[in-house]
Amino acid sequence: MKGRTKIFNLNTKDAGNKIVVMGWVRTFRKSKNVSFVSLNDGSTINSLQVVLDMNKFDEKIIDNINTGSSLRVEGELVKSSGKNQKYELLGDNIVILGKSNPDTYPIQPKKHSFEFLREVAHLRPRTNTFSSIFRIRHACTFAIHKFFNDRGFVNIHTPIITSSDAEGAGEMFKVTSLDLDNISGKMVDYSKDFFSKPVSLTVSGQLNAELGALALSDVYTFGPTFRAENSNTSKHLAEFWMIEPEMAFYDIDDNMDLAEEMLKYIIKYVLDNCNSDLIFLENLELDSERNLPQIKRNENPLIYRLKQVVNNKFIRVRYDEAFKILSNSKQNKKGKFKFKIDEWGIDFQSEHERYLVEKHFKNPVIVCDYPKKIKAFYMRSNDDGRTVAAMDVLFPAVGEIIGGSQREERLDMLERRMQEMNVSKKELSWYLDTRRFGTVKHSGFGLGLERLVQFITGMKNIRDVIPFPRTPGSCNY
């Protein structure tokens, strides 16, 4: 906007300049002669201190400067002698853009719990914590597009309404235009529905992304994903964002290389571009851990943890080896896992993933070659007949951050798997066409954006890294 300067653009070199800023009042310290407004416009964690000579302003203006109100301030930027800021604004002219009632405004200038802020999610971006998180989330999004664009990937927009259950987990939200209020107990007649058949919100864009890869070589999707699993945990959302690259001619090792390179790239981008937000979040975490026993604290501060991931090679192990490590662990033998590791073939739970990453290897881990019976139909069978070329990237604090695989490109093998797993060949005949005509080795994976943002910001609950979380029993705003 012409004439207005965003606060993130200011620096001491601008001292002496007349500027206009706009933003929301965080605090107002009023006294007889000189008062101080802390103004934030969301462009940076740093609020701008506006100094007011009280003799210059009439009561009408002063009375409406309150926590939460919005202002336009014109004045001269000057070097500050205060210890908290390098420069400040000498307010000359103030326009009250929007009034606020400081008594009923939910975001008071004090510490609020994350639980409380979730209840006022429409206003929580006005806090330092949440504006930092959403700026970092944006930086991740931008870095992801840049990473793929720089490598010649094509962004494919895959459908949100779909008739196929890509993951075969049956955890889909149905989409209908039928009048549900007027359906009696009888079977639903889907031929009367909008698409003349049952359809749902997508759980993954992968099957469509594969079609793209088998024409454009390297593609990726980046879109909302929906899962109706009733998991009321700190790592699950009913609506989350997933990035799914799909690459022709890649095998599982190429796939792991790309996943590792991408994660390091995004984290490095945030380290390089979101420094003040990270410092803020690191201090917030240190503060909140101050009174906790050692065992409940993070071993290292946030920024150190991010650098560790960027600077160290991820450990790669097969499921077989991970299974042995877990079943032989003291934790398992002493019955300290909620889910005991006893039989080869069981799926790992979050507690097992975190044991591998946080206790055993102390490093991100990629587990590959999982038992075929716990993985989806599209994963490529290994020659041993009992495992598939799957890979999960496991991170500290969040556990599984990426799931992916080399895809079964052999038509006969794929059809056999579909048969075994009750996946309709008729429904997916379009998918099978890529194996019928010019099939090639290919691989891909899915990164959960919120899990990544959780790791980068250190937030404990996934509901705090998406602006408007959807979870069982909760869909507001």
**Site residues (CB under 5 A) for Mg ion?**
403
Is residue 68 close enough to count as binding ligand 4AD by CB under 6 A? no
Identify which of 388, 386, 380 has the alpha carbon closest to the alpha carbon of residue 435.
380
Nearer residue to ligand 4AD within complex by CB, 362 or 470:
470
Is residue 167 close enough to count as binding ligand 4AD by CB under 6 A? yes
CB of 129 to ligand 4AD, least distance (A): 20
Nearer residue to ligand 4AD within complex by CB, 28 or 250:
250
Is residue 244 close enough to count as binding ligand 4AD by CB under 6 A? yes
CB of 85 to ligand 4AD, least distance (A): 39
In 106-148, which ranges are E strands?
Answer: none
Is residue 469 close enough to count as binding ligand 4AD by CB under 6 A? no
Residue 425 Ramachandran class (φ > 0 left, ψ -120 to 50 alpha, else beta) = alpha
Is residue 314 close enough to count as binding ligand 4AD by CB under 6 A? no
Nearer residue to Mg ion within complex by CB, 345 or 438:
345
Measure Cα distances from 141 to 134, 243, 347, 391, 450 in Å.
10, 9, 30, 23, 11
Which residues in 214-243 contact ligand 4AD (CB under 6 A)? 227, 236-237, 240, 242
Report the distance separating Cα 392 and Cα 395, nearest Å.
10
Is residue 431 close enough to count as binding ligand 4AD by CB under 6 A? no
Report the distance separating Cα 427 and Cα 205, nearest Å.
16
CB of 91 to Mg ion, least distance (A): 54
> What's at 465, amino acid-wise?
V
Exposed e or buried b per residue across 329-367, where buried means at least 16 C-beta atoms within 10 angstroms of its C-beta: bebbeeeebeeebeeeebebebebbbbbbbebbebbbbb
CB of 404 to ligand 4AD, least distance (A): 4
Are 354 and 397 spatial neighbours (Cβ–Cβ below 8 Å)? yes
Where do the H-state alpha helices sit in 162-235?
206-216
Nearer residue to Mg ion within complex by CB, 214 or 401:
401
Kind and range of the H or E run holding 314 = none
Report the distance separating Cα 89 and Cα 226, nearest Å.
47
Binding-site partner at residue 134 among Mg ion, ligand 4AD, none, CB < 5 to 8 Å by type:
none
Nearer residue to Mg ion within complex by CB, 403 or 458:
403
Is residue 396 close enough to count as binding ligand 4AD by CB under 6 A? no
Identify which of 442, 443, 448, 371 has the alpha carbon closest to the alpha carbon of residue 402.
448
Range in contact with ligand 4AD (rule: CB under 6 A) among 7-15, 320-328, 335-343, 444-452 = 444-452
Q: Give counts: helices (H), strands (E), the chain.
A: 13, 16
Q: Which of 445, 453, 454, 465 binds ligand 4AD (CB under 6 A)?
A: 445
Report the distance separating Cα 153 and Cα 218, nearest Å.
5
Nearer residue to ligand 4AD within complex by CB, 10 or 238:
238
Q: How many residues bind ligand 4AD (CB under 6 A)?
A: 21
Is residue 446 close enough to count as binding ligand 4AD by CB under 6 A? yes
Q: Tokens 């004439």, residue?
A: 3
CB of 80 to ligand 4AD, least distance (A): 43
Is residue 248 close enough to count as binding ligand 4AD by CB under 6 A? no
Using the 8-state DSSP alphabet, how is residue 356 labeled?
Answer: I
Report the distance separating Cα 454 and Cα 96, nearest Å.
37
Q: Which of 23, 91, 364, 444 binds ligand 4AD (CB under 6 A)?
A: 444
Binding-site partner at residue 204 among Mg ion, ligand 4AD, none, CB < 5 to 8 Å by type:
ligand 4AD
Q: Which of 353, 400, 408, 464 binds ligand 4AD (CB under 6 A)?
A: 400
Q: Could you list the residues that contact ligand 4AD (CB under 6 A)?
A: 166-167, 204, 206, 227, 236-237, 240, 242, 244, 400-404, 444-446, 448, 450-451
